[in-house]
Structure 1
Amino acid sequence: MGRGLLACARRGSRGLDRALRRRLCRVVLRAFRRKRAAHASARARIVNVLSLARIAAIRADPARCTRPLEPSPVDRTRPFLPEDQTQLYYTPGYRLLNFEQRLRYNQLFALRVNEYIMMLERDFVEPVLRSVRARAAQFGSAALVEALAAMREEEARHYEAFAALNRQCEPAAYAGSDHWFMRLKPYERLSLRAMQAGARWLPFALWIIIAMEESSIGLATAMLRAGETALGPLDLHFLAVHREHAKDEARHIHVDVHLVRACVHTLPRPWRRVNARLFLGFMRDMTAPKADGTGARVVRRLLVEHPELAAHEAELISGLVALRDDADFQHSVFNRRLNPLAFALFDEEPALADLGRVLKAYERSAADF
């Protein structure tokens, strides 16, 4: 009897041991899988940044640099952009437009895109790069200063290329000014001046620059891949100008990374938090189309040319404003596939941990916190 009870106890103990071992194995296995997933996520977010020496070598190759294009007639029967690169495409109001109206909206919005790039190049990038030069020299290297100088020269040429393209498309509209849609309000100009003046200690604009320059490369890539769209094939000259622009920008984004690491990462932590707050505010404003913004001006110009749409003005404009909360539109503007270097830099900055509240496509894994 006693031996039987002892045997039962031993069998029960062995069964309990097996249960504990199985449970322990499951716990360890789950932990291993989480760790492996975190490592996989980290590997997916690793991007290769070109060295300054490599950037200089590429810049020395004319085939990999933006070249000036001879003026060429623009085909007004063709779209200038893929439809999904326009704002109205993501609104219910787009269905109100017939083929002719969609085509004209596409062309007008493309001119606005060119103006936006021009504004970025001359009114934003150039003054900011000029302001951070001293900090780049102090915390970077002579090679970085050289790359910065070359970048500034190239940006000036980009401005002229897009200005010439817009004049080819709409000679009358651009006869007296390079800006038809991008008319900055006084407070916007004041904000730009303040940002430029304080760029040495508030270089958060560098985060904006790399995101915008990567987006311009993404636009050129989308144009090259567009092929036959619902509105027809893209105008070849418009496509060529954006393709050439992307050549320089493909180098510039790597210079941007070196600048961020020299000018932002070397700031004291409190100053980095200040820069992060300012960056979040700027991006919140940038990703929210407004009723009196440049996108709305494009729509209102369309209504001038197609007065039969005038009765739908309120619906079209309200649709644009609603894009601030539209997931598809927000993901089309900035995302990790489109902006890999920018998002990698955001990952490196602890003060940008809540960036996903502003950029809807930005997610940071728990392993990054």
Structure 2
Amino acid sequence: MNADADVLSKIKHASEQDRQCRVVPDFSDIDPGLPFVPEVFTQLYHTSAYDLLNPEQKLRYNQLFGLRSNELFMVFEKGVTRQVIHQLKNARQESDPLLADCLEGMLVEESRHHAMFLDFNRRFLPEGYSNKGRCFTRDSRLEMGVLLTLAKRPGL
């Protein structure tokens, strides 16, 4: 077995083991009194306007920023990332089936991540996510068209 195949075998094995023993996060006890991301990661934190907010407003802003960040991950995981991985997998199916298997595992993981982020957002803000997967982000036909066109040509 060559070095690349050895590495791919290890990746495939580790991924399969991880899927078998992974515990799905339980978001039923989300603490509404805690921030979702470090303050420094939020955009408003770096402006003078942030100092005008009281602690409750800062906390709510932080939580909403976290939900929006989850949405952005979902957009890329369900759309762009899945398309790129799928295209690469199909391109390598015949020439490198082990790599194709590893890429298939990545597709499974991306689906699990998407479901996890959506579950978190729905549990924290059910009214915003009751009948849809997003509350803060919208699909621009032009932006999504460009992203999906690029995703379908991962060799570029």
TM superposition score normalised by structure 2: 0.85
> Residues 207-235 of structure 1, C-alpha deviation per residue, up to 9 Å, x if partnerless?
xxxxxxxxxxxxxxxxxxxxxxxxxxxxx
- Within the candidate set 85, 90, 107, 1:129 is matched to 85
- Whole-angstrom distance in 1 between the partners of 2:65 and 2:146: 25
- Within the candidate set 114, 120, 126, 1:171 is matched to 126
Per-residue deviation at 1:137? 3.9
Per-residue deviation at 1:64? 8.8
Per-residue deviation at 1:99? 0.8
Q: Secondary structure at the match of 2:133?
A: coil
- Whole-angstrom distance in 2 between the partners of 1:195 and 1:65: 35
Per-residue deviation at 1:152? 0.3
Query: Percent identity among equivalent residues?
Result: 34
- Whole-angstrom distance in 1 between the partners of 2:141 and 2:125: 26
Per-residue deviation at 1:111? 0.2
> Residues 224-270 of structure 1, C-alpha deviation per residue, up to 9 Å, x if partnerless?
xxxxxxxxxxxxxxxxxxxxxxxxxxxxxxxxxxxxxxxxxxxxxxx
- Cα contact 2:70–2:117 (8 A) shared by 1: yes
- Whole-angstrom distance in 1 between the partners of 2:11 and 2:46: 37
State the partner residue of 1:342.
Answer: none
Per-residue deviation at 1:65? 6.2
State the partner residue of 1:185.
Answer: 140
- Within the candidate set 52, 56, 64, 1:108 is matched to 64
The one-letter amino acid paired with 1:194 is: T
- Whole-angstrom distance in 1 between the partners of 2:107 and 2:21: 14
Per-residue deviation at 1:197? 2.9
The alignment's C-alpha RMSD in Å is: 2.1
State the partner residue of 2:3.
Answer: none
- Whole-angstrom distance in 2 between the partners of 1:185 and 1:176: 20
What are the within-5 Å matches in structure 2 for residues 266-305 of structure 1? Answer: none
Question: Higher relative CO (CA 8 A, sep ≥ 6), structure 1 or 2?
Answer: 2
Per-residue deviation at 1:56? 2.0
State the partner residue of 1:162.
Answer: 117
Detail structure 1 runs of 4+ shifted over 4 Å in the superposition: 63-66
- Whole-angstrom distance in 2 between the partners of 1:63 and 1:189: 31
- Whole-angstrom distance in 1 between the partners of 2:33 and 2:15: 36
- Cα contact 1:86–1:109 (8 A) shared by 2: yes
List alignment gaps of at least 5 residues for structure 2: 1-5
- Cα contact 1:166–1:174 (8 A) shared by 2: yes
Per-residue deviation at 1:60? 3.3
The one-letter amino acid paired with 2:62 is: N
> Residues 2-48 of structure 1, C-alpha deviation per residue, up to 9 Å, x if partnerless?
xxxxxxxxxxxxxxxxxxxxxxxxxxxxxxxxxxxxxxxxxxxxxxx
Bigger radius of gyration among the two: 1
1:62 to 1:87, Cα distance in 2 relative to 1, 3 A: same
The one-letter amino acid paired with 1:86 is: T
The one-letter amino acid paired with 2:72 is: Y
- Cα contact 1:59–1:65 (8 A) shared by 2: no
Per-residue deviation at 1:51? 1.7
1:192 to 1:117, Cα distance in 2 relative to 1, 3 A: same
- Cα contact 2:121–2:129 (8 A) shared by 1: yes
Q: Secondary structure at the match of 1:51?
A: helix
- Whole-angstrom distance in 1 between the partners of 2:9 and 2:65: 38
Q: Secondary structure at the match of 2:82?
A: helix
State the partner residue of 2:97.
Answer: 142
- Whole-angstrom distance in 2 between the partners of 1:70 and 1:122: 22
The answer to whether 1:58 aligns with 2:14 is: yes
- Whole-angstrom distance in 2 between the partners of 1:107 and 1:77: 10
Q: Secondary structure at the match of 1:77?
A: coil
- Whole-angstrom distance in 1 between the partners of 2:93 and 2:19: 29
- Cα contact 2:68–2:136 (8 A) shared by 1: yes
- Cα contact 2:89–2:99 (8 A) shared by 1: no
The answer to whether 1:75 aligns with 2:31 is: yes
Kindly tell me the number of residue pairs found equivalent between the two proteins. Answer: 151
TM superposition score normalised by structure 1: 0.38
